[in-house]
Amino acid sequence: MKFSLDIKGTIAPFSAIARAFEHPKTICYPSQKKEKVDGYRGFHTNLLETCIGCANCQDVCMNDAIDMITITEEKNAKNNSGCIPRIDYGRCCWCSLCTDVCPPNSLKLESESIWANEDSNNFLYMPKDK
Amino acid sequence: MIENKENRVIKIFHGPQHPGITGNMSVELDLVGETIQKARTHVGYLHRGFEKLVERRTIIQAFTIVCRICVPEPDPNEENFARAIEGLAGIEISQRAKYIRVMVLEMARIGAQMLWMGGQSGSVGLGTVAQWSIYDRDLILDLFEELTGGRVYHMYIYPGGVRRELPDGFLDRLEQFLDYLEERLPKYDNIFFDNSTFKKRAIGVGVINQDEALKYGYVGQALRGCGIKRDVRKDNPYLVYDELDFDIPTFDGGDVYARALVRRQEIRESIKILRQVIKQMPTEGDIMQKIPKHRKFKIPKDDILVSSESARGEYNYYMAGDGSEKIRRMQVKGPSLIHGFTLLENMLKGEELSNVAMIMNSLGICPPEIER
């Protein structure tokens, strides 16, 4: 290989040292948490007051991640089916199509998105009533 | 250095679990010493079959699958899919939606180039560059998170327009990011593009000549890196690219370094495009046209071919409808198909083993595109 001295190309990379004196860009998780972003596609919430149990969300879900579960607690009077959606987070891809097709707009996604559990059955998630 | 005085051929697999590989694929290498005699690409580690998955789902459901065809840059897939459906269903989107789409595509292009910079620099042992570029890409992902609700898979460009209106002050934040990035780019030149280590490794390695590039149909930087000015955004403009002023950077040389310089310049061109988009974007207009509901959204018995320019080269989507709510056939051709097989196998012959990762990165091979 022919040797040629590239002075600029040899010295210039050392300018990276300046970065060492800048403020760190990383955050110390979990003591420090990332700011929540409005509109982030996280966990589902379902306002039971308005949910009509129409199962549109179940129909549109391409991953079959939504089951309609019968509930006994207080619900919307217009909910004739008596069912509300339950999400399987082992299948959900957070595409948010279920919230797009929700006629009363009761099903939404919140910014919360951290969930860890050793039992796979716990990934069947009942959306919070809010 | 492998001692091999008898010229014995040694077979090794580079990937699928090698840090230098660009995804779930492997290259089977026949080596004599450290020189590659023969290279064969093996795919099949993903088993995804996107095209078949799309055929089994309705149009609305299929839209969430296509972005997964390329992880580093999913948006051209979404845009191609949406444009093909709109072409078949006869939907005309508003000018504002077109501008937002261009904005998303160019942001994704910058993000993909930053990710490439991380991979390319890592493949030559310059880890610092990777740390920097991945951080800067994260700032783009923050913007995407705010705009679309997702960081990597945005699922934002939808048949009929885009899914969400821009958040308040988004364009200002985008402009601030562009200012920041423009300030950062000379620093990348110092530590990466002008770095003598990278130049010595990359110049004259993985050379493509113009005849070969045209004969086999190479795309993207493989083509522009050997001096051929070809880009779908200019040659066959889609969305509002014909209203925007930008150049197609080309470099002679055809080697890894020329392709790196093309990408370096493309980041600057994307910034230029984004600044124009911010300035020219109409403030009024529906971001979403009225489209039929889930089960009633049908496309006629017809077919269409759409193409676009991703950060790594030309994308083609062929789509055929049969009058139902499902797509009869969808075929995706990304840049990786030709680059991952023909180009990589030819190029690696006679190269050193240590250059494999660098060459793969320079070609931007993405295995899900091959196993689509």
pLDDT per position as a tens digit, B225-260: 999 999 999 999 999 999 999 999 999 989 999 999
| Domains delineated in chain A | 44-125 (3.30.70.3270)
Nearest to A60 among B61, B145, B197 (CB): B61
Number of alpha carbons in the 13 Å side-chain half-sphere of residue A37: 20
Nearest to B64 among A12, A37, A97 (CB): A97
Contacts of B293 in chain A (CB under 8 A): 101
> What average pLDDT is seen over chain A?
87
A29 vs B278 pLDDT, higher one: B278
- Give this complex's ipTM: 0.90
Note whether A37 contacts B62, CB cutoff 8 Å.
Answer: no
Distance separating alpha carbons of residues A81 and B81, to the nearest angstrom: 36
Task: Note the pLDDT tens digit of each residue in A87-111.
Answer: 999 899 999 999 999 999 999 999 8
Note whether B64 contacts A38, CB cutoff 8 Å.
Answer: no
Q: What is the pLDDT of residue A1?
A: 54
Q: pLDDT class for B37, splitting at 50, 70, 90?
A: very high
Q: pLDDT class for A4, splitting at 50, 70, 90?
A: confident
Least Cα separation, residue A74 to chain B (angstroms): 30
Distance separating alpha carbons of residues B56 and B177, to the nearest angstrom: 41
> pTM (2 decimals)?
0.93
Distance separating alpha carbons of residues B35 and B305, to the nearest angstrom: 42
B133 touches chain A (CB under 8 A): no
Contacts of B145 in chain A (CB under 8 A): 37, 40
B333's CB contacts (< 8 A; 6+ apart) are B315, B316, B317, B318
Q: Read off φ and ψ for residue B360, nearest 5 degrees.
A: -60, -45
Residue type, B126: L
Average pLDDT over residues B130-142: 93
Average pLDDT over residues A38-56: 91
| CATH architecture, domain B50-370 | Orthogonal Bundle (1.10)
